[in-house]
Structure 1
Amino acid sequence: WGSSTERTSAAWYPQGITSTADAYTVQTADGSSTGRTALAVSWYNDGSPDQGARISFVNAGSGGGSLSTYAHVLLVEPKIVSGHLTFSPVNTHAGGLVWYGAKLFAADSGRGMRVFDTTRIYRIAAGQDSTKIGWDATTGRYNAYGYTYIMPLQLSYLQSTTAACGVQSDPDGDGPLKAYNNPLCFSWIGLDRGTTPDSLVAGEYRTLGDLQSSDTRIRVTRWSLNYHDRGLCDPSNTAITTCGSARTLADGQQITVSDVYMTETPRIQGGLSWAGKFSLSQSLSDSSGAVAGSLYAAVPGTDNDYGGAAKYSWTVGAEDVTLWRASTSSGTLGSSARMWTVTEHPGERLLLGVYYSSVD
């Protein structure tokens, strides 16, 4: 990152990553053959006041070249206060990102996913107060904590219950906590353009301490996507949530998960799937602090996590992952396809790309 503050700050932590290769088959931001290419990285704020989350749009060249320039965009939630349009920060961990069409999906831990429109990024006029956010009636100006650009929330996919995510239960009363009986924690998300229809994968972060019983597994899920409106769809409920054609969306429509997988792999920070194989990014630490993590490649139903899955050395503090396909043909990979990750620890922050063929 360009500034020492971004490289070392304990106020902002990079988390999710996606790219224009996720957005469109031709791998550009606008879906045209001459459009720009970019990576997008989410950061969550751990400062006071809580400034929510931001996205860094990084010039990606060909997806494997120079990452020389970038700009930060603050995520905001619009609202009407006293008859005037204003906005507040989006308080989310943003642990994973998927850029699909013009939509940018951000994982929202216990709530679900927040969705933003990348064609609706607004510039804040010069002269704002960097300590404030939203409309200031006194000055007649908008403020965004000093950020030049904002991207408003478009819609949310929320859990159908308000129960806390990921809570474990002890159904047989023998002591160890076992199966989860509460909603999924959306700790990370990734895209799979190799399925029909395209799909979004989402999983939860759990520590080794959560796996107190051989009955306990960590959940990884798959959600179908509608290519026409770029939203979630439900193949089992075509009356209102068809995946194959344009549709009319309304508040309250319920989407059901397409597939659920189980894994024993703890501390998963990010994941994606391609051609039936999952890549799971794991962070690790010991008594001295953070250490190099592992990257797992496994086919559901055939690979046991530590027996059959391929395990690769991974970087320190790795978070989410995304696949740059290096191909403009849907459902195929080019020879230079790369998997990108972002690392979070202050002083050790990288955007790292490795050839997908080396970790497949």
Structure 2
Amino acid sequence: MKHRGRHRRRRRGRALRAFLAGTALALTATATLISASQATVTDSPGALERLTSSAESRPLRLTEELEPQASLDRLAKEMGRPVGVTTVLESADRGLRDAIDCTAAERRSLPVAPVATSAYCWNTDDTRGWQAGAITTSGDADDDGRWGANRVILSGWTRSGGPAADRGLARVAFVDANDPGNLTYTWVLLVVPVDGGRDYRPLTSHVSGMVWYQGKLLVTADDGDSNALYVYDMARIQRTTVTGDAVGRVRGGWSAHGYRFAMPAVGSYRMAGGADAPHPGSVSLDRSTAPDSLVAGEWTLDGGDRRARLWRYSFSPGDDRAGLLATDASGHVDADEVYGTKAAEVRGVLSYRSAWYVSRTADGARDGRGTLWRQDEDGAKAAQCGAEETHRCWSGQTESLSYWESTGEVWTQSGRVLFALPLASIEKSLGEELERQ
């Protein structure tokens, strides 16, 4: 039985890859029809410019502010002993649809080139009124690609519809990815302790960036919460006791907008530049540096008068600060390197070795497609597709990119579609000269 199960999974994998390849061919045909009526767009952002002046790097300085231990202990005492990732996964009772079961409209969110090798769709009734955002995985958390015995994907969402009081709520889907043919998940609401740990409030922010590193989850914050990054502890997830729309302490116990779990922040990183500081629009993990680093990208409007910045911070090498950024004696975190890019409307950002991968939004594009650029200090290149060889071959709204180094896959999501493809296929789509680098 064990061997027959393995053969079934292999046959299913081959059938799925063939299906996704066929989808890509159909999308390519559509791109050909669209691009044939448009002029070729040469919108290359060019080479990255290394920025070395203090005027460029000083506003990127972070100040670490950790929640007092007494506050976290009080909350845990009131709510009950915290649980970890394994316990949350045991409650996963919702399922993602495989690519074959996605609608044609959903599959149009997939890139034309390079081709996705895995794809799943979220259910409409579970995501209506919510906006998809950041992605991170157990491939970020640990170099063996697992958290304990589990392969896990975390998917961030922000409440964008419904009652005004609910807008801006941030939640994370904990996806059990142990069986590629049966991805299941459950929701955890992101919250922030208040009143010395006697209560909590919702994190109100668009979740466009998220990195799970070692035992911590770092989440970008904007809009209602002005800190640059919030920090969560994967071993400090709290069970709720009341099912209701409220968030926090309520009559009879604790509520988290109807979800069974709430995750209280254990700290934050505030941008030193204040209200005018460039908040990270997207973040990801780079394991090719020593030490490992958090990379960030700044979102700017198309046609703006200055370059967007890409930069990185080092993670702390100390065991007593696992998952936190490296600070100086004053609790400050300075950017290790800063680059300028002419790529406007940057969404996802990823760095590996000497290359930076930047996804650009599809806003204003008639074909609804975005672009994935590979940039370094020598130049930029993107895949081409369609009769006019447009660079708009990527998915339109990928706000986050996450590299699962142990498998070689890049994971992202666009709308209700979660998908992955090998980093090697991205390189290959750019030409042999880049593939050899």
Normalised by the size of structure 1, how large is the TM-score? 0.76
CA distance in structure 1 between the aligned counterparts of 2:269 and 2:334, rounded to whole angstroms: 11
Does residue 1:204 correspond to 2:271, yes or no?
no
1:129, distance to aligned residue in structure 2 (A): 4.5
Unaligned runs of 5+ in 2: 1-120, 385-392, 428-437
Residues 287 and 263 of structure 1, relative CA distance in 2, 3 Å threshold: closer
1:316, distance to aligned residue in structure 2 (A): 2.7
Structure 2 counterpart of 1:28: 146
CA distance in structure 1 between the aligned counterparts of 2:297 and 2:182, rounded to whole angstroms: 28
Structure 2 counterpart of 1:359: 426
> Which of 152, 155, 159 is 2:271 aligned to?
159
Structure 2 counterpart of 1:319: 399
Task: State the AA in 1 paired with 2:233.
Answer: D
Query: Contact 1:111/1:186 (CA < 8 Å) preserved in 2?
Result: no
> Which of 323, 337, 340 is 2:411 aligned to?
340
CA distance in structure 2 between the aligned counterparts of 1:341 and 1:42, rounded to whole angstroms: 11
Which has the larger share of helix?
2
Query: Contact 1:58/1:67 (CA < 8 Å) preserved in 2?
Result: no
Q: How does 1:1-360 map to 2 (within 5 A)?
A: 1-7=121-127, 9=128, 11-30=129-148, 35-47=149-161, 48-50=164-166, 52-61=169-178, 65-66=180-181, 68-80=183-195, 85-109=198-222, 111-125=227-241, 128-136=242-250, 139-164=251-276, 183-210=277-304, 212=305, 216-227=306-317, 228=319, 229=321, 230-234=323-327, 237=328, 240=329, 253-286=331-364, 288=366, 291-299=368-376, 301-303=377-379, 308-311=380-383, 313-326=393-406, 336-344=407-415, 349-360=416-427
CA distance in structure 2 between the aligned counterparts of 1:161 and 1:267, rounded to whole angstroms: 21
Unaligned runs of 5+ in 1: 165-182, 241-251, 327-335
Residues 203 and 4 of structure 1, relative CA distance in 2, 3 Å threshold: same
Query: Contact 2:141/2:213 (CA < 8 Å) preserved in 1?
Result: yes
CA distance in structure 2 between the aligned counterparts of 1:193 and 1:154, rounded to whole angstroms: 24
Normalised by the size of structure 2, how large is the TM-score? 0.63
CA distance in structure 2 between the aligned counterparts of 1:2 and 1:16, rounded to whole angstroms: 14
Query: Contact 1:269/1:283 (CA < 8 Å) preserved in 2?
Result: yes
Q: Secondary structure at the match of 2:303?
A: helix
Task: State the AA in 2 paired with 1:283.
Answer: T
Query: Contact 1:297/1:311 (CA < 8 Å) preserved in 2?
Result: no
Q: Secondary structure at the match of 2:399?
A: strand
Structure 2 counterpart of 1:330: none
CA distance in structure 2 between the aligned counterparts of 1:99 and 1:72, rounded to whole angstroms: 16
Which has the larger share of strand?
1
CA distance in structure 2 between the aligned counterparts of 1:293 and 1:274, rounded to whole angstroms: 21
Task: State the AA in 2 paired with 1:357.
Answer: A
Once structures 1 and 2 are overlaid, which stretch shifts more, 50-59 or 16-25?
A: 50-59
Percent identity among equivalent residues? 27
Query: Contact 1:24/1:101 (CA < 8 Å) preserved in 2?
Result: yes
Greater length-normalized contact order (CA 8 Å, ≥ 6 residues apart): 2
CA RMSD of aligned residues (A): 2.0
1:154, distance to aligned residue in structure 2 (A): 0.7
CA distance in structure 2 between the aligned counterparts of 1:28 and 1:74, rounded to whole angstroms: 23
